[in-house]
Amino acid sequence: MIKPTVELQETSRRANENAVTWAVGNGLLSTTLIAYFAQSIGAQSAAISWIIAAPKLVGVLRWFAPYLLYLGGGYRITSIAAFLLSTAFLLLLPFCAIPGIWSSTSAAISAIVLCWCLYHLAEYCGYVLFVSWLVQLVPNPKRGWFFGLRESWLTAGTLCGYLFAALLGATLQNFFVLDLRWMTYPCLAIYGAFAMGFSVWPISQMKEPPVTQPPRFTFFDDFAHWQNPRAYWFLLYGTWFSAANGLFSTLLYMYPYRGLNLSIFLPLVMAASMRLGQSLLAQPAGAAIDRYGWRRVMICGQLLVAMGPFLFSFGTPGYIAGNLIWIAYALINVALPIAVVDGKSDASAGPPLALYFAWTGLVYGLTALAGKGIADFFVPYESASDPSAYTMYFLIATLVRLSALIPLLLLPAETVDDN
């Protein structure tokens, strides 16, 4: 393990160069953009639910990501290969909806969902390996600082991506004739894919821990970490919050498009504003984690982000306020990898990371599909253009998200491992 010296600073610099470059591409190619893309060619709530859920469902396969090291490559080769493969799937998106290629709109939307899933699967696997790599390079007392700084660069890059997408999207909408305006979204996808592909260069220069012995392919070993009471309660929190998000996710993407009749410009600008706030908050969040522990920081973050749907119910001003309060996601995002490994500093951190993200992603995906029925119950498609129809849905969504605080509050007392 390297010390918090010049070597650690160099590791941080390379990781942050990767973060900001990848995040620009991620801002260009967001779920919001794909949802708008699908709706522009006729997708309804069921298709939007699949766009939200399907990547999480296939993401359960990231559980096996640490075992990709068995193929003989180290962390560098394996994670970079996964990131480049994800880029390749993104580049297929523009071909998914070209008129005349597909027999029906449903076939075109299915192709979009498939590419979207494969992109996420490859990216998820790369992320698990990359974070496992970083955990071995960063000493435990410095992880709040390291991941806080990295989160700051991630959100700053995503901010730039959102702003670029909003401006370029508005420009392209005017460039294309009316019946070709759907091309705006594939064009943004191409830009995003190239930015993500370029992001592997900085991490190709990073120090790599030796893979002396790949982790054993034993499910019992993977589950052992979660038998600890602290880890168990945290996994329950992740499950609870993922289910709350999934069950009440569909209308969060349909509301600006149909309920408020907003063009994609304002949602992307709000997403950019949210990312700007997260970028500014991430480093103080990391410092707070190093000082007070991740649990207290995460409780504060959960309390704030749960209020987002409630604010949405107040029309366009509420939509703006809801996005701004989601700046508090920075508190959760910085704390999350630190909380999952809970003090681990070697290759044994990989399986807990993989299993946590695989499981919570699966929960989110399944509940997002179930959420389609909840969305239709509260807001039938014929009522989706009436903003007032969403009020009860958003109120219940808020209460369910607030209830995810319970496992965090019941988590056993903090120890030195939290820092």
Q: Considering the domain boundaries, does residue 305 fall inside one? A: yes
Contacts of 112 (CB under 8 A, 6+ apart): 34, 37, 38, 51, 93, 96, 97
Task: Say which range, 12-16, 60-64, 337-341, has the weakest mean pLDDT.
Answer: 60-64
Q: How confident is the model at residue 72 (pLDDT cuts 50, 70, 90)?
A: low
Q: Considering the domain boundaries, does residue 211 fall inside one? A: no
Task: Say which range, 57-71, 231-245, 384-398, has the weakest mean pLDDT.
Answer: 57-71
* Dist CA 206 CA 212 (whole Å): 18
Q: How confident is the model at residue 413 (pLDDT cuts 50, 70, 90)?
A: low
Each residue of 216-232: pLDDT tens digit? Answer: 545 555 666 667 778 88
Tell me what pLDDT residue 416 has. Answer: 40
Each residue of 296-306: pLDDT tens digit? Answer: 999 999 999 99
Looking at per-residue pLDDT, the higher value among 290 and 219 belongs to: 290
Tell me what pLDDT residue 307 has. Answer: 93
409 sits in which H/E element: helix 405-410
Q: How confident is the model at residue 399 (pLDDT cuts 50, 70, 90)?
A: very high
- Fill in the DSSP letter of residue 373: H
- Could you tell me the two tokens for 264? 């994609």
Tell me what pLDDT residue 203 has. Answer: 86
**Residue 414 scores a pLDDT above 70:** no
What does each C-alpha distance from 228 to 225, 231, 413 come to in angstroms? 6, 5, 13
* Domains: count for the chain: 1
Looking at per-residue pLDDT, the higher value among 36 and 212 belongs to: 36
* Dist CA 155 CA 301 (whole Å): 16
Rg (CA), the chain: 21
Question: What mean pLDDT do residues 364-369 have?
Answer: 83
Whole-number average pLDDT of the chain: 80
Task: Say which range, 104-118, 321-335, 347-361, 395-409, has the weakest mean pLDDT.
Answer: 347-361
Q: Considering the domain boundaries, does residue 160 fall inside one? A: yes
Contacts of 156 (CB under 8 A, 6+ apart): 20, 23, 275, 276, 279
Domain extent, residue 58, equals 6-206+225-418
With both helix axes pointing from N to C terminus, report the angle between 329-341 and 105-137 in degrees, rounded to the nearest 10.
Answer: 60
* Dist CA 225 CA 354 (whole Å): 12
How many CA atoms lie less than 13 Å away from 219 in the CB half-sphere?
1
**Residue 361 scores a pLDDT above 50:** yes
* Dist CA 264 CA 166 (whole Å): 7
Tell me what pLDDT residue 2 has. Answer: 43
**Residue 54 scores a pLDDT above 80:** no
**Residue 144 scores a pLDDT above 50:** yes
Question: What mean pLDDT do residues 106-124 have?
Answer: 84
- Could you tell me the two tokens for 114? 């498939």
Q: Which of 36-45, 111-120, 203-212 has the highest mean pLDDT?
A: 111-120
Q: How confident is the model at residue 240 (pLDDT cuts 50, 70, 90)?
A: very high
Question: What mean pLDDT do residues 313-327 have?
Answer: 91
Task: Say which range, 18-22, 250-254, 262-266, 344-348, has the weakest mean pLDDT.
Answer: 344-348
Q: Considering the domain boundaries, does residue 302 fall inside one? A: yes
Q: How confident is the model at residue 419 (pLDDT cuts 50, 70, 90)?
A: very low
Q: Considering the domain boundaries, does residue 332 fall inside one? A: yes
Contact by Cβ (8 Å): 309, 397 = yes
Q: Considering the domain boundaries, does residue 387 fall inside one? A: yes
Contacts of 122 (CB under 8 A, 6+ apart): 82, 83, 85, 86, 89
Contacts of 148 (CB under 8 A, 6+ apart): 282, 283, 284, 285, 286, 287, 289, 334
With both helix axes pointing from N to C terminus, report the angle between 105-137 and 350-378 in degrees, rounded to the nearest 10.
Answer: 150
SS3 of 249-299: the string is CHHHHHHHHHHCCCCCHHHHHHHHHHHHHHHHHHHHHHHHHHHHCHHHHHH
Report the amino acid identity of residue 251: L
* Dist CA 297 CA 343 (whole Å): 16
379: left (phi over 0), alpha (psi -120 to 50) or beta: beta
Q: How far apart are the first and last CA of the chain?
A: 17
Tell me what pLDDT residue 400 has. Answer: 93
Q: Considering the domain boundaries, does residue 262 fall inside one? A: yes
- Fill in the DSSP letter of residue 215: P
Tell me what pLDDT residue 417 has. Answer: 42
The CATH number of the domain holding residue 94 is 1.20.1250.20
* Dist CA 400 CA 367 (whole Å): 13
Q: Considering the domain boundaries, does residue 271 fall inside one? A: yes
**Residue 415 scores a pLDDT above 60:** no
* Dist CA 177 CA 295 (whole Å): 52
Percent of all residues in the chain with a pLDDT value above 90, rounded to a whole number: 13
* Dist CA 13 CA 9 (whole Å): 6
Task: Say which range, 16-30, 303-317, 387-401, has the weakest mean pLDDT.
Answer: 16-30
Per the listing, tokens 């160069």 go with 17
Backbone CA torsion sign across 283, 284, 289, 291: positive
What are residue 322's phi and psi, to 5 degrees?
Answer: -65, -40
**Residue 172 scores a pLDDT above 70:** no
